[in-house]
Structure 1
Amino acid sequence: MFVRHLGLVSILACVSLSLSACGGGGNPPEAVLSVSVSELALAARQPAALPSAIPGTPRVLTVTNTSTHVTAQNVALDPAVVLPADTTVVGDCGTLAPLESCSFTVTPGAAATTAPVALPIRGSNTNTVTPTVQVLTYGSLHQGGYVFALDDTTPDTGSVGGKVMARREEAAYPAWSTNADAMAGVDELSVAPCVGASDGACNTATVVKHYEALRDSPLAYAAGRCSAFIDEGYDDWYLPSVCEMGVDDNGSASGCGSRAAPRQQNIFLNLVKKGYADAMVPSVYWTSTASSTAPAGQAPAWVQQYSIGGDSNQLRFDRVGSSIPVRCVRAFRP
């Protein structure tokens, strides 16, 4: 009776495991792979980018065998994957023991992808994980708009950061504000609460907070229009600052620098001048930066003018009496 009891236990154990685990036939158990990120965005190498070069930082995908008892065999990238000629992927995991990881390093070149590229990774006894890779440059379409700024200093285990400009103008042409209230902290000289010349997201939030307290509709003024803007599935748009829009070609003392030495990456140099935003020329757009100086009886804000001759004129317009277009932007992060 004792022997029969042990035999029954052994049979039940085999039922709960695969036949191969009990020495029988059938397929071996499958190892399960996971990947660290499902989407990886990289910056194309741009040594001439201003105000500083973009190196094209290599970025890492980590693949893990999440199985606790099964070894993954022959884990590798699908050799049929086609990337831009100067972008490389290095890594060949081979055998992965249970809970072991390996990495694939993606190194971008100077050429961008036109769309995300799938990178299928699988083993001979595993599932397939398919992260996507996109190499971005100025003018690339990404997360709702045209890329005009890239942050390649983010950790190499994730994607780059940056900023995009919406593909379309906001429908209405609003005034900058509903009244001539003093608006501290958002002009070209301010450093608190916003660095007014360069931080459009902070400017927008500050202006919106001011007019929310007055119960003004966000649709009645420029920054509010962008804060309420929903496009391509994103709702975190803002009105760009004067230096996010361009450079000081006309000596207006905006603080945005010159074409040769811009204060920051901007729409004029990286989209308009490169031909990605022809529809914006000629035109004038509100920025979220107020003016620190004003003639008597006026309350101006900065505007950006794009001219047919290729100039970047930054001017001051009356913020209550002028109704002009807005083009919203948003930041993307890893």
Structure 2
Amino acid sequence: MITKCKILCVVLLTLLSSWFTLVLARNSSIKENNAVVDLIVMVNGSKLGFCSKSMQNCTIQIAPNECLSPPGSISITNNSRISAKNIRASSGDINFMTYVVQNNGCPASLPPGASCTISFSTNASVAFSVSNVTVKGSNTTSTSFNINAVQCAAPTITGVPSPNRQVGIVYNQSNIASGGKAPYSYSLNSGTLPAGTSLNSATGTVSGIPTTAGAFSYVIQVTDAYGSTAIVSSSGTIVNIFPVAAGPSNVIAVPGNSQVTVSWTAPTNVGTGTVTSYTVTYGPTSGTVFTTPGCTTTGSPPSTSCTINGLTNNTAYTFAVTTTTAMDGVNETGPATLSSSVIPTSGLVVSPSTLLLSGIGGGTLRTITVTNVSPNPIIIDSVSSPLPALPGDASVDTSSPTTCNIGTILNPNNSCTITINPGLISSSSSGCTDGITLPTSSTITITGNSGSITANAEAMLLGYGCQYQGGYLFAIDDTTLNTNSIGGKVTMLAANSIMWSPLGVHDSIWGIDNTSTSTLPSPNASSFLPATLKLGQLNCNGKSDGTCNTENIFVYYEGTANYAAGICKQPLSGAGVICTGGANCYTDWYLPSICDLDATTFICPSTQSIVTSLSFLIPSVFTGDYWSSTESLTGAWFENFSSIPPATGSSTNNLQFNVSCIRNLTS
């Protein structure tokens, strides 16, 4: 009996224990399910933006994702001992429901102490505010914050002026948008585009070929993908093409220590605009391209000299000077004029390194300048006599107070001089005037500081027929500054043969016939055979200015080379062979004018010509027909060297005549 009682008691106790455990577990589950989780919300991850139910004043700023980085966000932390369920942000505001996009980084169940982030953006560039956006989970407290939605920054637009604003020349004005949201579209907001141009609505470029001269003004509007806009205005004047100024003359390059100073004479043919600047470029003499930027002068009028620094000593350079002419804000650049080759150096610099003098008798006394370009004084030890001796009665003139003498002290940047008198007697005894013998230079050696510094100066007398700088000398200009060499012209040692024009037909080319002047060009737009002025052309003195004529012809035929003037625009040796650079390669040849060939047919500004100066080389060297760059009414002028005496004639352009290019001496 007792045993049965014990067994029954144990069973009852077990049942009671199980029931009690079940009740406790059930009560625990009910407590967790009924608990409310406390959330901590921070704005944009900053504790300074701590939000609470009592404050409810936290605000985030939102916009489309591409306009705001990083996006506006809230950070949520579970501050309870149980997991927070299904946390999300919500609002009944119509703007919130329409425009707000939330990137909910909170898991379905956020463990105690864990954090998550919800970021917000808008699906359009609109501005609005929403107050009391609720943050709540299915078992959490609720916390509110505010949203301030802002529009994307409007796009900006920048206009880039067209480099050309002339009738008949491509106009290309860019309008560049940035900011806002691509893609962009462009439209004409107001005003009128230049006649002949149009706007590309996808790129914002206004382009075309203007057909009418006159003022213009227009406003371009850009609209981005959000509908935001910006505008930019453009205005100016479309002008007719105008004749550019000729290149400067007498370009002189004086070397120094790692530098060269270039000077020139302003052109007399300035076209119809205003000369506003000169640009100097350069390159190694070993090549044929001299386009490295050097220096630019401006002003009214612009300066005619400047210095290029940073050059390499003991390297030969050639310099090119161009003229910029302006009219109504439009700039045009004329042809280039080259210097001789010079070599920067330290110590003593001699300029010109080779002094050219007139050897036809009674020429100008000319001076060689010796300059100390080192940082220390130099004492002259010796100045030698010319070796070989100067021809004829030419001599060294020592009467100048600046003469370089033994014992002369040259402080840095100081100079002394050596003066050469070419004499009164024609120096045909030098031998080179026979057209065969090459000229000989006389060397004067200057030493300083006990022979540690040496410089050589060269002096050379030239007469008609001397071979120099690629050709026979047929014109001498003894009016240049006496601190420089003489000027002059040489004609090639050998001729090519070709038609005057590429297709052998007569083309009426602006301002190059025998009646044309720099003020009254002919042919022109109203001539019997009218001509059209093209960009880069000049008003030429057609019968006498071969450089101008050649430039106009070259521009007309757009830079090709299969015709008379085109050959002369190539880099050529004195033998008329295309070359690639070096001391005997020249890039400034041109087709001679009719006055260059024969100064006796027309009233020419100079009596010097191939016929008058090189008669002893006719017909042994010059024989047959030679083209000039001067047009006639129906063709071009030429010179027949085979007739006795030589005769000038006009021919159609399809004949294969000789071409002997000429060039100006450089010093």
TM range (shorter): 0.7 to 0.9
Give the letter for the 1:111 counterpart.
S
Residues 164-179 of structure 1 aligned to structure 2 (within 5 Å): 164-170=490-496, 172-178=497-503, 179=505
Q: Which residue of 1 aligns with 2:566?
A: 224
Q: Which residue of 2 aligns with 1:139?
A: 465
Q: Which moved more, 1:68-77 or 1:106-115?
A: 68-77
Give the letter for the 1:40 counterpart.
L
- Structure 1 contact 42–136 (Cα < 8 Å) conserved: yes
Return the match for 2:651 from 278, 294, 317.
317
Q: Which residue of 1 aligns with 2:408?
A: 96
SS of 1:119's equivalent? strand
Aligned residues with identical type, % of pairs? 32
Q: Separation in 1 of the partners of 2:355 and 2:483?
A: 9
Per-residue CA distance 1:262-313 (angstroms, 9 max, x = gap): 8431001111x133762213x111111001x3xxxxx22111011353x121
Change (3 A) 1:97 1:167: same
Q: Does 1:195 align with 2:541?
A: yes
Q: CA deviation at 1:202?
A: 0.6
Per-residue CA distance 1:158-205 (angstroms, 9 max, x = gap): 1111110000112x4224453332223100000131100001111011
Return the match for 1:255 from 598, 602, 606.
602
Change (3 A) 1:81 1:218: closer
Q: CA deviation at 1:151?
A: 0.8
Change (3 A) 1:97 1:68: farther
Q: Which residue of 2 aligns with 1:245?
A: 597
Change (3 A) 1:73 1:89: same
Return the match for 1:233 from 585, 588, 595.
585
TM-score with structure 1 setting the length: 0.74
Q: Which residue of 2 aligns with 1:329?
A: 662
Return the match for 2:487 from 161, 185, 189.
161
Q: Give the structure with higher Rg (CA).
A: 2
Change (3 A) 1:330 1:65: closer
Task: List runs of 5+ in structure 2 lacking aligned partners.
Answer: 1-345, 399-403, 431-438, 522-538, 574-583
Q: Separation in 1 of the partners of 2:386 and 2:663?
A: 36
Q: Separation in 2 of the partners of 1:131 and 1:32?
A: 14
Q: Which residue of 2 aligns with 1:4?
A: none
Q: Which residue of 2 aligns with 1:285?
A: 626
Q: CA deviation at 1:43?
A: 1.1
SS of 1:274's equivalent? helix
Q: Separation in 2 of the partners of 1:79 and 1:181?
A: 54
- Structure 2 contact 595–609 (Cα < 8 Å) conserved: yes
Q: CA deviation at 1:44?
A: 1.4
Return the match for 1:301 from 629, 632, 636.
636
Which consecutive segments of 4 or more residues in structure 1 shift more than 6 A?
none
Change (3 A) 1:78 1:107: closer
Per-residue CA distance 1:210-269 (angstroms, 9 max, x = gap): 111xx7x321x2111211251131121111011100144xxxxx5246xxxx84310011
Q: Which residue of 1 aligns with 2:17?
A: none
SS of 1:184's equivalent? coil
- Structure 1 contact 78–122 (Cα < 8 Å) conserved: no
SS of 2:659's equivalent? coil
Give the letter for the 1:233 counterpart.
C
Return the match for 1:38 from 353, 368, 372.
353
Q: Separation in 2 of the partners of 1:37 and 1:198?
A: 29
SS of 1:224's equivalent? helix
Change (3 A) 1:80 1:255: closer
Q: Separation in 1 of the partners of 2:663 and 2:454?
A: 34
Q: Which moved more, 1:79-88 or 1:63-72?
A: 63-72
Q: Does 1:205 align with 2:551?
A: yes
Q: Separation in 2 of the partners of 1:205 and 1:56?
A: 33
Q: Separation in 2 of the partners of 1:227 and 1:66?
A: 37
SS of 1:120's equivalent? strand
Q: CA deviation at 1:90?
A: 2.6
Return the match for 1:118 from 411, 435, 443.
443
Change (3 A) 1:275 1:322: closer
SS of 1:153's equivalent? coil
Give the letter for the 2:590 counterpart.
Y
SS of 2:592's equivalent? coil
Give the letter for the 1:203 counterpart.
N
Q: Which residue of 2 aligns with 1:51?
A: none
Q: Separation in 2 of the partners of 1:88 and 1:329?
A: 31
SS of 2:494's equivalent? coil
Give the letter for the 2:462 counterpart.
L
Q: Separation in 1 of the partners of 2:507 and 2:374?
A: 63
- Structure 1 contact 41–136 (Cα < 8 Å) conserved: yes
Give the letter for the 1:266 counterpart.
S
Q: CA deviation at 1:123?
A: 4.4
Residues 9-158 of structure 1 aligned to structure 2 (within 5 Å): 32-46=347-361, 55-66=362-373, 70=377, 72-78=379-385, 81-91=388-398, 93-99=405-411, 100-109=414-423, 110-111=426-427, 113=430, 114-123=439-448, 125-126=450-451, 127-158=453-484
Task: List runs of 5+ in structure 1 lacking aligned partners.
Answer: 1-30, 47-54, 249-253, 294-298
Change (3 A) 1:264 1:122: same
Q: Separation in 1 of the partners of 2:380 and 2:636?
A: 63
Change (3 A) 1:197 1:177: farther
Which one has the bigger strand percentage? 2
Change (3 A) 1:86 1:300: same
Q: Separation in 1 of the partners of 2:594 and 2:456?
A: 41
Give the letter for the 2:350 counterpart.
V
Q: Separation in 2 of the partners of 1:72 and 1:269?
A: 49
SS of 2:440's equivalent? coil
- Computed over aligned residues only, the root mean square deviation of the Cα atoms, in angstroms, reads 2.5
Per-residue CA distance 1:114-161 (angstroms, 9 max, x = gap): 222221122471322111111111111111111011111111111111
- Structure 2 contact 490–663 (Cα < 8 Å) conserved: yes
